[in-house]
Chain A
Amino acid sequence: MTAVGNNFLAAIGRIFLAFLGACGRLAVFTGTALSHCVTSPFYPRLLIRQMMSIGYYSLPVVGMTAVFTGMVLALQIYSGSSRFNAEGAVATIVVIGITRELGPVLTGLMVAGRVGAAMAAEIGTMRVTEQIDALTTLSTNPFKYLVAPRLIAGALMLPLLVLVADIIGVMGGYLVGTEKLGFNSATYLDNTFEFLEQIDVVSGLVKASAFGFIVSLMGCYHGYHSRGGAQGVGAATTNAVVSASILILAANYIITELFFDI
């Protein structure tokens, strides 16, 4: 084999080994973090602060995303379904689309951008300014103090956010349906709830919990391993958002398949 061929294979090997190494580090980090989520000491004050940060302060951005998504969904479905005279399905498709897919996925992605980035930046700055080392010397485990409250808060608050997003999204669709597309208000609401099943909402909330965990995990992981000052913190923030977004989309597919057994 030529030298060029050898170099090419070596480069592929290095990339593959680096990928395996990163997977291993992430698995160890996740296992360690989970073990600290279920063992004392717990920090309720920090947990509440994180729940506020992830849940309450994300409400405006999640609400805005949901309302416009619901509105545009109603328009698009009306436009598409009118091709085969199925305009009456708008309300049903909007509610199923929002609760099953768009609510959890768009909320997850928005929170990844808002909260995941902030977590990576905060923990990354703490890493490069030795604040995480200082925690250790003050007999405080950084996993318990920094990571566990964020993971728990992420997994708990995203379902609540998605529930709010579902309601606001459906309201957006209702507004467009009744005010612009000429649907009767009572008929639209009847159509919304008639075909809605429990699993539509529950699957969305389970997805939300998984996405919340992913967002917090990526924010903490990349922040915790950031190196090299401001540039390192910047890279950690970018990586946290990108990896959380990709993992959310991948997890969305897996959970959908598990739930609906298609």
Chain B
Amino acid sequence: MNNQSPQSQDSHESTAIPKIAMRDVHKSFGAKVVLDGLDLDVARGESVVVIGGSGTGKSVMLKCVLGLLRPEQGSIKVDGEEVVGMRGKNRERVLDKFGMLFQGAALFDSLKVWENVAFGLIQGRGMSRDDAKGVALQKMAQVGLGEEVGELGPSELSGGMQKRVGLARAIATEPEIIFFDEPTTGLDPIMGDVINDLIVDCVKELGATTLSITHDLASARKIADRIAMIYKGKIIWAGPTDQVDQSGNAHVDQFIHGRAEGPIQMEVLRP
């Protein structure tokens, strides 16, 4: 197994402070260890995609960075500032830098679509409803949604449209960092590719740093500058996207080729 550390492989690593730096992050739920000394850097303006199977700790990693979960051990720095244990106004200030597209879009049922997109502008930035609606409609147009969709409720939209609304909401406040949690899961391949294109276009326009998690290789290849693989709570390989096929790492090879046989053994009872 090629267990080269992500840092040593990272051609993007420079003396500049990474936008996000995770070091030796540990997180457990009871006896179940989810993150077991995770190390990962995301450089400014870089798009990193973390791949890995279900239950390997991908979502927990994102939630630890956002402060939704608190790691028991380790350091997470955003722009060089330690965020583990950060609370109150400081936490809100750091969260202002983030946007996130959730796996199920996580749109607010009680609000119209445009109010969902404008939410961060109205509540977070204190913008007037009229101004925020203008920005929201503009962001919706950016992801291919017309004005008429803005007056609908989230439950009236298809899965693909909900993802696009979620993307519009994530970019509405023009954040410095955007997280994408399984952006193409549950979508047909064509809509998945549309979302991938939108992500690439939106991120390029904003110049944002992005950290995505997925087990969709096609999506990862399209949106990533760099791919990292997580396994048993650790980053076991990281490298430029075009090197993922020649990683020399048996775990990565098994994952990208979708083979049941290999070093990664699923906990499936066989008859």
Contacts and interface: CB of A to CB of B under 8 A. Distances in A.
A131 B106 contact: yes
Interface string B216-258: 0000000000000000000000000000000000000000000
A118 B129 CA distance: 28
Band of interface residues on A: 10 to 19
A134 B110 CA distance: 14
Contacts of B99: 137
A184 interface: no
A137 B98 contact: yes
A129 B120 contact: no
Interface in B98-113: 98-100, 102-104, 106-110
B25 interface: no
Contacts of B106: 129-131, 133-134
A139 B66 contact: no
A140 B63 contact: no
Contact of A137 (B95, B103, B107, B125): B95
Interface residues of B, number: 26
Contacts of B66: 133, 136-137
Nearest to B103: A130
Contacts of B120: 138-140
B269 interface: no
Contacts of B124: 138-140
B96 interface: yes
Nearest to B98: A137
Contacts of B125: 139
A129 B96 CA distance: 22
A145 interface: yes
Contact of A140 (B107, B110, B123, B169): B123
B92 interface: yes
Contact of A139 (B63, B92, B110): B92
B119 interface: yes
Contacts of A129: 104, 106
B36 to A, nearest CB: 23
B16 interface: no
Contacts of A122: 110
B31 interface: no
Interface string A108-132: 0000000000000010011001110
Contacts of B103: 130
Contacts of B107: 131, 134
B268 interface: no
A148 B211 CA distance: 33
A126 B120 CA distance: 17
A162 B58 CA distance: 50
B119 A136 contact: no
B185 to A, nearest CB: 13
B68 interface: yes
Contacts of A134: 100, 102, 106-108
A130 B63 CA distance: 11
B139 to A, nearest CB: 14
A107 B64 CA distance: 43
B123 A145 contact: yes
Contact of B68 (A125, A133, A139, A140): A133
Nearest to A134: B106
Contacts of A126: 108-109
Sort A-B residue pairs by CB-CB distance and give the 4 closest, nearest first: A139-B124, A134-B106, A130-B106, A138-B120
Interface of A: 122, 125-126, 129-131, 133-134, 136-141, 145
16 contacts: A122-B110, A129-B104, A129-B106, A130-B104, A130-B106, A133-B68, A133-B106, A134-B100, A134-B108, A136-B95, A138-B119, A138-B169, A138-B173, A139-B95, A140-B119, A141-B92
Interface of B: 63, 66-68, 92, 95-96, 98-100, 102-104, 106-110, 119-120, 123-125, 169, 173, 179
